[in-house]
Amino acid sequence: MKQLVLIRHAKSEWANVVVKDFDRTLNTRGFSDAPKMGLRLKDLTSLPQLVISSPAERAKLTAQLVLEQAGFDFDQVQWEEEVYEASARILLQVVNTIPDEYDTVWMFGHNPGFSYLAEYLTGAEVGNIPTCGAYAMTFDVASWSMISQNSGSKKFYVYPKLEEGQVD
């Protein structure tokens, strides 16, 4: 059994038009939502054995704030350039190459790729995963390489605007 939790970066800052997209930071709400989501994830699921993240600044900050509250060592994050602005196809390639020694993996990144990947893997209508939203899936497989279309089941879907304790 494998478990994948897709966590979209928290709300980012758009005010500074000079900053490149890759370097955008979080806004006030993003800095507030990410630690809260870390605590919620800690209550909802087991800690990851591996964390993969986009190296974009807003994804890095989200990962740091979430993992700090969840109790995972931020220094152990695996940075993957491919996750930044990735399509569902590219994200699936990243998932399919995860070493099989890991059963629970959290991935921090971006939309629309994360929403499309969740829909592709579960066959469910996900819509738009909101900023700092987490969509968790389980797969009844022994190897990450076996994960493919409709092979996953939604475990939970949670995001900052859901009331405390509420899970979709």
Measured torsion, CA atoms of residues 31, 66, 19, 112, in degrees rounded to the nearest 10: -110
- Specify the pTM: 0.95
**What is the radius of gyration, based on Cα positions, of the chain?**
15
* Rounded CA separation 83/52 (Å): 9
Tokens in use for 159? 């995001």
Domains and CATH numbers, the chain: 2-11+24-158 (3.40.50.1240)
Residue 40, pLDDT above cutoff 70? yes
Residues 84-137 pLDDT 10s: 999 999 999 999 999 999 999 999 999 999 999 999 999 999 999 999 999 999
pLDDT tens, position by position, 15-26: 777 789 999 999
Locus of tokens 């370097």: 23
